[in-house]
Amino acid sequence: MVTDPAGTPGPARSRPDRRRRLGRGGRPSAVLVLVAVAVAVVFLAPLAYLVVRVVGEGSGLDAVVDRERSLRALGNSLRLAGAVSLTAATIGTGLAWLTTRTDVPLRRLWAVLAPLPLVVPSFVGAAALLAAVAPGGLIDELAPGLGVDRLPEVEGFGGAWFVLSLFTYPYVYLPVAARLASLSPSLEESARLLGRRPVQVFRTVVLPQTATAIWAGTLLVFLYVVSDFGAVAQLRYRTLTVEIYDSRLFNQPEALFLGLVLAVVALLVVALERRAQRHRAVVEVARTKRALIVPLGRWRWPATAMASVVAVSALLGPLAVLGYWSVRGFVAGNERARPDLGELVEPAVATGALGLGAAALTIAVVLPVAYLTARHRSRLGGVVNAAVVGGFALPGLIVALAAVYWTLQGPTWTARFYQTVPMLLAAYAIHFGAQGLRAAQVAVGAVPRRLDDAARTLGAGRWRRLRTVELPLMVPGLLAGAGLVMLSTMKELPATLLLRPTTFDTLAVHVWSARENARWADTGTAALVLVGVSGVLTWLLVLRHAERLD
């Protein structure tokens, strides 16, 4: 006989019951397993495409693959991804803590500005940097007045690290901010009553509770960087994606082989992260209406300066360059150089609709997987998790080619989806499913199991418990994941170019087309509209809801 928490004697709990109460979960239902396996099969389609095509090439790969160049490109990709991930984790975690748990001046302003760099396409950010430091650029013109004779070289590793760090730290900021907003202040208050200083409280209490969210965001940053093409190509840093793009027409077998290497790297990273997560303690806390605000004291203004530097570097700088292009077009005497705002209405509507549709579809698809992996630790969950996350490391071009291949090679009826909106949304969900999954896993893991036990004791069924107990607590995390998917969809380019209907344009496509044709005023105007539309939708979908829950 044992006693329950209230002291009432009762029968000893069975081993499976103890495992469930410790957060490891019992056996998942058959329906959950079937749904998760079906999702994994769909997400493995791009990898299966690469395997089928590479195996089809057979021994001929040895004659077309340059091993030395491939290894160098792999090393460059891993080096860049590691450096950017570390920087993004530091910036994202620091800003999330400042905006949710401190009295930093203009806290609400920083909370609105912090996620916005994610809406700027990496290729636009790289182009803005190059235009600013090039001879005759904005920084080049200001440099002599500041006593600077020679500007630093921005091409290569340094420039790629700088640009990608600025535009990927929101991948860490959003899930960490959502996690901090859902934490009870009781543990922090207890630690401070025991005499611990704020820094010690952050290191020993807050950081362990947010570790899962930090790892989730950092993994997304790593996978994003190894699959990025636009920024590294313009900044002349030879990564795997650049080699794939250069080989796609004249040496397709090598491009397919390098794509398979990218997939293997992604699966290895996911497996290592999953293994580390098993040894990480799970801290269950209930959300409260009141958040603990830490007074910064003399550090208020240094913290404000840090937030200002990030905002200026990631937002004001690129927007200033884009605005410069746009204004020059409107004031130019040449009518042909002047941007036509009317041409941007349909792409703006299409961009917003695709972003919202992809966000809703992705969260609905990955939520069962999040339940399987967060509530039921098993090998099957690890395989399904790897299948979903692996799709994020593949370039959008590979995902699009796989979608075309399987659509045209499948039954006759599947060909009807070629170059349609449903096919495009499915490709978005596969490519960006990892973003929604990681945030959903954090959201599911943050729901205390004791609430589910209490609702079950009161007679609530599975669906009622999900609707009335779990979903309200998961809303901040799910919306953070949906926001990530929406923003990534709105700026996605390769898959959109290949899979969109022929008469269907998005703002990202418009920006790329204008830049390819050297229409700089049109490029700047369309990019500013993209930032504006993304910012409005981010506030409506993520930030406003998060404020109401504070």
43, 119, 93, 115: which is closest to 437 by C-alpha? 43
Q: Is the pLDDT of residue 162 over 90?
A: yes
Q: Is the pLDDT of residue 282 over 80?
A: no
- 402 vs 71, 391, 414, 493, CA distance in Å? 25, 11, 13, 16
What domains, with CATH codes, occur in the chain?
A: 26-282+298-549 (1.10.3720.10)
Band (pLDDT 50/70/90 cuts) for residue 157 is very high
- Residues 6 or more apart whose CB falls under 8 angstroms from that of 258 comprise 70, 73, 240, 243, 244, 247
* More confidently predicted of 302 and 476: 302
- Tell me the pLDDT of the chain averaged across its residues: 78
Average pLDDT over residues 332-336: 60
Q: Give the separation between CA 277 and CA 280, rounded to whole angstroms.
A: 5
Band (pLDDT 50/70/90 cuts) for residue 467 is low
Q: What digits encode the pLDDT tens for the residues 339-390?
A: 777 788 898 899 989 999 999 999 999 988 888 888 777 778 888 888 887 7
Q: Is the pLDDT of residue 509 over 70?
A: yes
Q: What is the pTM of this model?
A: 0.75
Q: Give the separation between CA 530 and CA 509, rounded to whole angstroms.
A: 11
197, 402, 437: which is closest to 295 by C-alpha? 197
Average pLDDT over residues 2-11: 44
Q: Give the separation between CA 77 and CA 225, rounded to whole angstroms.
A: 8
pLDDT of residue 81: 93
Band (pLDDT 50/70/90 cuts) for residue 160 is very high
**Would you give the DSSP letter of residue 117?**
G
User: Would the CA dihedral through 523, 529, 530, 531 be positive or negative?
Assistant: positive
